Amino acid sequence: MKLPAVLAVDDSKENEVTLTIGMSPELVAFSGHFPDNPILPGVVQIDWVMRFAAVHFGIKKIAAPDFQVKFRNVIRPGEPIALTLKLDHSKRQLSFTYQSGHALMSSGQLKLETTL
């Protein structure tokens, strides 16, 4: 699956990046989930976290056998979403938040099984 368009990148902090992601209704992630009321599936949110982390932190092979996620609000097509990724090398942990404006949409931590 193709990653969504990144509209802006803030990588001014060490081991942290915030991406502003376009949430076009045409994204394949919205198709079929649900036809009359599309939302971004949780599994897609985790996939994007892992794939964007690989790109922005230079992780060549990423796997997360242990993770915690809290889904607080439904992500729908339309307004851009801010995805913030924080990498803690010593804990081998990747934390993330998805936000829409000031509203927290989801957050979590992934325990990485890879060489950082």
The CATH number linked to 79 is 3.10.129.10
| In a domain? residue 1 | no
Residue 116 in this model has a pLDDT that exceeds 60: no
Cα–Cα distance measured from residue 57 to residue 52, given in angstroms and rounded to the nearest whole number: 8
| In a domain? residue 98 | yes
Number of domains into which the chain is organized: 1
Q: For the chain, how are helix, strand and coil distributed in percent, rounded to 5?
A: 15, 40, 45
pTM > 0.85: yes or no: yes
DSSP 91-110: TTEEEEEEEETTEEEEEEEE
The answer to whether 39 and 76 have CB atoms below 8 angstroms apart is yes
Q: pLDDT band at residue 115, thresholds of 50, 70 and 90?
A: low
Domain membership of residue 50 as a residue range: 6-111
Lowest mean pLDDT across 11-15, 28-32, 107-111: 28-32
* Peptide bond between residue 34 and the one before it cis (omega within 30 degrees of 0): yes
| In a domain? residue 66 | yes
- What's the pLDDT tens digit per position in 42-71? 999 999 999 999 999 988 777 777 889 999
The total number of residues shown for the chain amounts to 116
Q: pLDDT band at residue 35, thresholds of 50, 70 and 90?
A: confident
**Cross-strand bridge partners of residue 17:** 85
| In a domain? residue 12 | yes
pLDDT greater at residue 60 or residue 91? 91
